[in-house]
Amino acid sequence: MNEFVFNRYKSHQKKGRYFHSKKTFFDYYWIPASNWNPETYTLIYFLGYDGELPLGKSQHRKYNTLLLVDRSGPSSKGSWFFGQSGDPLTLNFLMSFLKQLTLAGLFKTEKIIFSGKGMGGHMALYCQQIMGTSLSVVHNPTTNLIDSKYYLETNENIFKNIFDSANPHEMQDIIQLISASNIDHQQIVLTSNRPVNSDFFKEQILPLVECRQTNYVGEEQLYFGDIFQLMDSDIKVIEVNGHTNNHIAFYISKENAKYNILFPGDTIFGGGCGRLLEGTPSQMFESLYKLNSLPENTKIYSAHEYTENNLKWALTLESNNISILERLKRVQDKRQKGISSLPSTISEERKTNLFLRAKNVEEFTMLRRHKDSWKC
């Protein structure tokens, strides 16, 4: 069994469904690293409620990726930790599945990074504690649902069937596990886009922070323009309003590095920019102006893969633009092979992104209206 699993998974992408019973199962998508070896890191990512696995093949990376979606809930939309009947039944056979892969030699426990968002974030934290791995990266983990305002006001209808028989005390297990953890090297990277005064933050995020009080070195509110350090790199918080209010980007620079890195969220995409959901054209124009001032070799890791359509739209306005034509051909070749068009660079966007090249707010506004009304 182990040899079969090893040979089948080491060099091949694999999608499948893992059953515990007719009502309890999850889907998985295994993407091995392009140059697999026993020391390769493995990212295990739990998609939250209503999550979907990518269609087609994904790009091989420098690390292994295992995507997981719980299908145990109503309409095959599961909730991970809580399972069909409101108990942690999913956890037991998930551990059995992971154990098979580790015993087969596909990856080592100490080389696992768990990640997820929402209730998938909850499961990532749970697995980190059970398996004793050193790092998890989670976004808006749901650590408390039953009796919380977030549950009663927002998701009661969605999860009611799942939680009817649940014991509310079980939902606090993750807090107890983390509080009792004696793993000195264990780290949790926690992100949230919820206001600190919101019910969600108070009920879901804050207890998770407070339960590690013994090792907590302090709390610092980040503001636009602040610079903090992580893994020997300086990370600057850039205000980029436009797509939404209080939108932020992270700019990462490191001394003597060949290039810097930008995580712009939904502000700039390959060949495009974000829609104006809350902000104004002048705000987005100003935000793009800020990003355009960064070094030309800065790599841009945008939040979505929209490059191909953006470039097709750009050609409707500049049909003879050689830079756009050549970039579109490169992007289409990559996408046909299942490879992402990202990251791009500031240099590449300056040549092919019409929004970044807009000379003033009026020109930007015209482009944004044209793009919003355009259909591929």
What are the pLDDT digits (tens) for 87-139? 455 667 788 888 888 888 888 888 999 998 887 888 888 888 888 888 888 88
Nearest to 328 by CA among 347, 350, 313: 313
Tens digits of per-residue pLDDT, 185-209? Answer: 778 888 877 777 777 788 777 777 7
Among candidate residues 176, 194, 215, the one where a domain is terminated: 215
pLDDT cut 90: percent of the chain above it: 34
Q: Which has the minimum average pLDDT: 161-165, 229-233, 285-289?
A: 161-165
pLDDT cut 70: percent of the chain above it: 73
Residues 238 and 211 in one domain: no
Query: What is the mean predicted confidence (pLDDT) over 342-370?
Result: 97
Tens digits of per-residue pLDDT, 22-33? Answer: 667 888 888 888
Higher pLDDT, 92 or 67: 67
51, 120 contact by CB (below 8 A): yes
Residues 114 and 207 in one domain: yes
The CATH number for 322's domain is: 3.60.15.10
Residues 296 and 211 in one domain: no
The CATH number for 124's domain is: 3.40.50.1820
User: Which residues are CB-contacts of 293 (< 8 A; sequence separation ≥ 6)?
Assistant: none
Name the residue with tokens 């056979």. Answer: 93
Q: By 3-state DSSP, what share of the chain in percent is helix, strand and coil, each rounded to 5? A: 40, 20, 40
User: Given this model, what pLDDT does residue 274 score?
Assistant: 95
Distance CA 108, CA 300 (A): 31
User: Given this model, what pLDDT does residue 171 score?
Assistant: 45
Distance CA 352, CA 214 (A): 51
User: Given this model, what pLDDT does residue 210 score?
Assistant: 72
Kindly indicate the confidence band of residue 44, based on its pLDDT and cuts at 50, 70 and 90. Answer: very high
Residues 13 and 103 in one domain: yes
Residue 75 inside a domain? The answer is yes
Residue 220 inside a domain? The answer is no
List Cα–Cα distances, 280 to 11, 200, 247, 331, in angstroms: 48, 28, 12, 30
Distance CA 81, CA 113 (A): 18
10, 106 contact by CB (below 8 A): yes
User: Given this model, what pLDDT does residue 79 score?
Assistant: 67
Among candidate residues 162, 181, 215, the one where a domain is terminated: 215
Token pair belonging to 83: 């399972």
Token pair belonging to 38: 């026993």
Token pair belonging to 284: 């987005």
Among candidate residues 188, 215, 242, the one where a domain is terminated: 215
Residue 316 inside a domain? The answer is yes
Residues 197 and 254 in one domain: no
SS3 48: coil
List Cα–Cα distances, 77 to 23, 69, 120, in angstroms: 11, 8, 12
First to last CA, the chain: 48
How many structural domains is the chain composed of? 2
DSSP 110: G
User: Given this model, what pLDDT does residue 214 score?
Assistant: 40
Rounded to two decimals, the pTM is 0.64
Residue 361 has pLDDT above 80, yes or no: yes
Kindly indicate the confidence band of residue 220, based on its pLDDT and cuts at 50, 70 and 90. Answer: low
Q: Provide the residue range defining the domain that includes 236.
A: 227-373
Kindly indicate the confidence band of residue 86, based on its pLDDT and cuts at 50, 70 and 90. Answer: very low
User: Given this model, what pLDDT does residue 77 score?
Assistant: 66
- Please, what is the angle between helix 173-180 and helix 119-131, to 10°? 40
